[in-house]
Chains A and B, each alone.
Chain A
Amino acid sequence: MSKQITGKLYDIQGFSVHDGPGIRLTLFLKGCPLRCPWCHSPESLAFHTELNWMGIKCIGIEKCGRCLGACPSGAISPGGKRPILGGGDEEIQLVTVDRKKCGNCSACADVCPTKALYMCGTDYTVDEMMQRVHRDKPFFEKSGGGITISGGECLCQPEFVLELLKRCKTEGIHTVVDTSGFVPWKTIESVLPYTDLFLYDIKGMDSALHKQVIGVPNELILENARKIADRGGKFQIRIPVLPMYTDSAEVFDAIGKFILTLGDAVQVVQILPYHNLGTAKWERLQTSAPVFAAEVPSENLIQARKKQLESMGLNVVVH
C-alpha cells in the first residue's frame, strides 16, 4: 500500500543536541534553492547525487589511479601533490575532477578503493527511513527528543517529508522541521499539522540586500513565518551572525522587532555565530572556496547581541 516515496539525504546525525528539544536524530535532505555564501554544508546544495573527493584519503595515482581509467567522460586527471601520511619526504600525485565534464555517474567512486571519491546523496524510502528512526527511539523517549528534518531545504522534497512526519506523529515521535521558509505556502501548510516545531532562519530584514547576498528576496520567508504563527505553529528562530552582514545592532533590532510580531509562536531564539569549520567541505566538491570567508565573531559581540534581544523580551540561546 505504501507508495515508494523516496527522499535524497546527504547525512544522518545521531545525538544531535542543538536542533530542537532533547536528543535528536537529524536527517539532512539534499538540495537547496538558496545560496548563502557562508554555507558550511556545500554538499547540501545540489538536488542530485554528486561526486565528492577527499584528498586525505586518496592513495595517489602511483599506487592506484583506477579512477583515471574508469571515468567515461575523461573528467579525471592528475592533480596536485601531497606528502604521504605518517611523515617522510615522499609525495603522491592526487587527482582532480573537471566538474564541467563530470556526469556524476559514480564509475570512479565504484572503483576507488579508499572511497576518496564517493557519491554524496543516498535515496531512502520512507520505510527505510523509519527503520533508522526506530533505532533511536529509546533516546527520544528518555530525553523528550525526536527527529529533525533538515537540509538543504528539506521542504523541497515535500512528499517525502510529509509522509515521514505523518508516520512519526502516528508513533508519537516529536518532529522538527528545519526550513529556510523559502518554499510555497501550501507546502508548509501541508506539513504544519505534523510539525511540533519549526527551526526557522531569519537571515536579514532588508529584502534587496537579502537577494543580493543570498540570491532570493525575503518577503516569502517573512510571510510564511507570519502564517505559521497565525495557524498555531511553533518556532525556534535562528539568526546566523555573519560579520559585515547580520552582526550589527541595527540588523538585530530589525530582526528582533519582526520576531516580536510572531508573538507566543516563538519559543526560543537561537543565535548561530558564523564559523569556518565547513571550509574543508568545499574542497571536496572542488568548487572555489565559499565567497564568504571572515573572522569568527567575538564572544563579546555575540553576548552583546544576545543581551540586545533579551532586552526586547525574547528568550535567547547561543549555539
Chain B
Amino acid sequence: MYTIKPITERVRKMREQYRETQPAICTSRYKLITEFYMANRDMIGSLKRAKNLHNILSHIAIRIDSGEVIVGAQSGTYRACALYPENSVAWLKEEVESGFISTRDIDPYILAEDDRDYILGTIDFWMQECMSAKADAQLLDEYKSIAGNGVTPFGPVGQAQAPVGHFCTGYNTAIRKGFAAIKTEAEAKMRALIDDALPGATMEQYHFYRSIAIVCDGIIIYAKRYAALAAEMAENERDPDRKAELISMAECLNHTVEQPARNFHEAVQCLFLYQTALCLDANMHGMSFGRVDQYLGDFYHADIESGRITPEYAQELMDLFYLKVAEMNKPWGYRQTMSAPGYTSGQLMTLGGLDKDGNDATNGVTYMMLQSAGRLLLHDPPQALRIHKNTPEALWEAAIETTKLAGGVPSFENDDVIIPALMSRGLSLEDARDYCLIGCVEPAGCGTEWPACGGVGTESFMNLAAALILAINDGHTAVPMLNGFVPAPLGSPNPRVGIKTGYLYEMTDIDQVKQAFRAQLEYFIKWHTMIINSFEYTARNVLPQPLVSATMAGCMESGKDVMWGGAKYNSTGNAGVGIGNVADALNIINHCCFQKNICTTREMYDAVMNNWEGYDDLRAYILNEAPHFGNGLPECDGYAEFVGKCFSDTVNALTGPRGRYSAGLYPVTINVAFGAATIATPDGRMKGEPLADGIAAPQGYDTNGPTALIRSVSVINQGDFPNGTLMNLKFHPTALKGADGWKKLSLLMQTYFDMGGMELQINVISTETLRDAQKNPEKHKDLVVRIAGFSSYFVELHPSGQADLIRRTELAM
C-alpha cells in the first residue's frame, strides 16, 4: 500500500507561506533591461542578448529566504515576478495604466505605486522596441484582410504576446559538465575561427560562441553571488544547525554551476539555478525541466550508498526544490491568462519511461518526485510520467495514488506511441527513447530538440470548429468578429475570409461537407504556418537564446543559436482544438440530414446560424436522442479519425525555417476562449459554449462510461500527432475506491495505450466537491484540479473554467 510520508516542519511553513502570499510584480529585472537597452541601442543580435543577460545575472536582486536550501529567484521579494518588456508590452501598458492588473478576476498581481510610475515612465520605449511590435511590422500584407477569421488566432497586431518558450534544454549537460568547461570550449572555437580569419559566413558562428562565453560567465557570477550571500548569512547565523547548512550551501554554490556537480545537492542546485537564469533571460513559458529523475538518479544513489545523505534529507531537498519552482511565475496579459490561468508557468517535469537502451529507467528519484507531488499538493511543477510495457507495478500504484491526491499529477504518457511518433519527425531511436514532455503534453527530445511546441513565441492553436462553420457558409465568417484575441478590422459584417466551399443547404451528401471542411482547414493551416514562419524570421534576429544554446545538443557543434536552427533536431508544433465538436457535428449532419431525415440541410444551416432559435425541437433531438461521438459507436466515431487526419496530414507536411511542423491535439483551456468566439455548431452546441476538451467528445455526450469513450478516441491515429494529444478522464472518487482501485485504473489506461492512446490524465473528484468549492472557495483552498496539460487550484480558476470542469462528464458514476 502506497503511503505519503509527512513533510518536515520547515517545508510545512514554506508551503503555508507560498499559499498565503499573493503574487506581486517586481521591477528589478524590468529596470535592468530597460536601462541596458536604452544605453546600448547600438548593439544587435546575440551579443546584445548575451550582454543584457550578463548584466541581469550580475545585478538582479538575490535572496535566501528562511529555511531555504535550494536557492535562486527572479525577484527581490517572495513570490514576486519579473517583467519581460522585450516580448510584448501593449497589454502591460493597458493593464498598468488602468490598474486592471491588480484587480482582474484571474491571476491579479500586486503592483507598488513607485513601480507603477517607473513602468509607465519607460514603457513607451518598449512599445516599438519589443518583439511583438517588430513581428507586427513584418506581418504579411496578404494576411491582414483575413485576420480575425477565427480559425487561426492571429490578429493583425500582437503577434508575440506569448514569448519564446516550450523547450527542454541540456540540463544534464549543465549538471555534469559545468559552465566553465562550456565557456572554455566556446573560447577555443572563437580562437580557431580567428586563426582561420573568419572565413565565409563564420562571423555568425563567432558571435554565437562569443555570446556563449558571455552567458557562461554570467551564470557563474550569478552562482558565486549566491555563494557569497550564503557565506555572509552563515557568519551572522546563531542557530548552529542552520549555520552549518548555510556553510554547506556556500560550498555547494561555489562549486556547482561552474564545475560539474559532485553530489545530489549540487545537482539539484545546478538544475534549479540554471532554470532561474534561463527564466531571467526569457519569460518562462513552458520551459520544461525534462527527465529530472534521470539527471539526478545516479547522484542520489551514490550519496545514499556512501552515506553522504539520508533518504529523508534528500526528500526534503526535493520538496524545497519543488517549492522554489512553484514560487516562480509569469504575468501575462488578461487574454493570454484566460488560456492558462492559475499562476502557472508550465515548467513540466518528466519521470519514468525507457532509457536509451530500451530498459526501464525508473530510479529512487522517480518515486521521490511523486512523493513530493503527493505531499505538497502544489499546482506547479506539473509532472508527466512515461509509461511502457515494463513500468513497475509499484510505480503505477504510486502514480495513481498521487494523481488521486494531487488532482491529475502526474499525467500518463505512452512510450510505445510517442517514441515512434518522434522518430517519424526525425529523432534517432536513442534520442526518441530519451524524450521528455514540454509545457503540457508535448513530446520532444530531452536537451536535443528545439521543438517550438505550440508554435515559437506565440500561441499556436487552431479552432477546428470555426473551420467547419466556414466550410458550411461558403467561406464567410458567421459573426462580425470571430476573433478571440484581437478585434479584426472588418469592413462588412460578413466578409469572406475563407475559400468558396458552398453552403450547407447546397450540399447533398456528407462527403461534400467533409470535403468542404478539409479544404477550409488546409487553407487556414497554411496561413497559420506562414504567420509562425514570419514570426520566426523576426524573432531569430531579435531574441536569440544563448543560455539555452549553451547546453542544447547540436548548437556548440554547429555554431548556431537554437533560434537559428542550431539544435540537433528542430520542429514546430501546431495544435488543433475542438476535434470532438467537428467530428460530432459531421456525425449529426449525416444522421439528421442525410440518413434519418430529421431535418433538411437548410433547416440545419438556419438552426446553427440562428443559435438554435426556433429550432428547439431539433436541438432537443440532437441532445437527447441522436447518437454521438464518444460512446464507442463506430458509425459516429469514424468522423473523428477523418478530422484528425485532415489536420495531421496538412500540418505534418509543412516546414518552417528550421524544419518540420508537427501536429497536436490539445487545448490547455483555450477551448473555453475559442468556444466563446464561435457560433453554434451542428453538434447541438450553443454559441459561446466551450469547445470539447482535448480529443474528447463534446461535454456531456459521452454517456457510456470510460471504456466506450476510450474506444471512441482510439479511432484517431494518435501516432500522427507527434506534438501530443490530450485526453482527460474524470472519475468520481467512489469509482476507484478499494484496495485494488488503482490497479483497475492502471489496467484501463494500459488498454487505452494498447489501443494506440498517447496520453491520459485523470481527475478524481466529485462534482459535489466542485460545486461546493465554487460556493465556498475558502473551504477548498487546496483543491487541485487538472485542467488540461496542467493543474491548478480550482478556486483560482475563472468561473467559466470552473463551470466547464463541472460540466465534463462524470465518468463511472
Contacts and interface: CB of A to CB of B under 8 A. Distances in A.
A139 interface: yes
B811 A143 contact: no
B762 to A, nearest CB: 12
A25 B707 contact: yes
Contacts of A63: 616
A43 to B, nearest CB: 16
B739 A23 contact: no
B623 A17 contact: no
A40 B559 CA distance: 70
**Chain A interface residue count: which class?**
20 to 34
Interface string B692-735: 00000000000011111001000000000000000000000001
B736 A17 contact: yes
Interface string B746-777: 01101100110000000000000000000000
Interface string A1-42: 000000000001111011000110100000000000000000
A115 interface: yes
B632 interface: yes
Nearest to A13: B705
Interface string A136-154: 1011001101000000000
Contact of A138 (B621, B704, B705, B751): B751
Contact of B755 (A22, A25, A57, A138): A138
Interface string A109-129: 000011100000000000000
B748 to A, nearest CB: 6
A135 B711 contact: yes
Nearest to B811: A15
A319 interface: yes
A258 B754 CA distance: 44
Contacts of A25: 707
A209 interface: no
**Chain B interface residue count: which class?**
20 to 34
Contact of A114 (B624, B705, B751): B624
Contacts of A317: 738-739
B140 interface: no
Contacts of B624: 57, 113-115
Contacts of B708: 14, 135
A226 B624 CA distance: 47
A109 to B, nearest CB: 11
Contacts of B744: 15, 17, 22-23, 143
A17 B620 CA distance: 33
Contacts of B238: none
Interface in A126-178: 135-136, 138-139, 142-143, 145
Given A135-B711, A317-B738, A23 B747 contact: yes
A25 B632 CA distance: 13
B616 A15 contact: no
Interface string B167-195: 00000000000000000000000000000
Contacts of B735: 15, 17
A318 interface: yes
Given A23-B707, A113-B617, A114-B624, A17 B741 contact: yes
Contact of A318 (B617, B711, B738, B812): B738
B625 interface: yes
Nearest to A140: B751
A145 to B, nearest CB: 8
Contacts of A13: 705, 812
B707 A14 contact: yes
Given A317-B739, A318-B738, A113 B748 contact: no
A114 B623 contact: yes
B750 A114 contact: no
Interface in A286-319: 317-319
Contacts of B748: 15, 23, 139, 143
A14 B809 CA distance: 14
Interface string B595-622: 0000000000000000000001100110
Contacts of B812: 13, 15, 17
14 contacts: A14-B632, A14-B706, A14-B708, A15-B707, A15-B812, A17-B812, A135-B711, A136-B707, A138-B751, A139-B748, A142-B750, A142-B754, A317-B739, A319-B738
Instruction: Please give me the 10 A-B residue pairs with the lowest Cβ-Cβ distance, nearest first.
Output: A113-B620, A14-B707, A14-B705, A143-B747, A115-B624, A142-B751, A17-B744, A15-B706, A139-B751, A15-B707
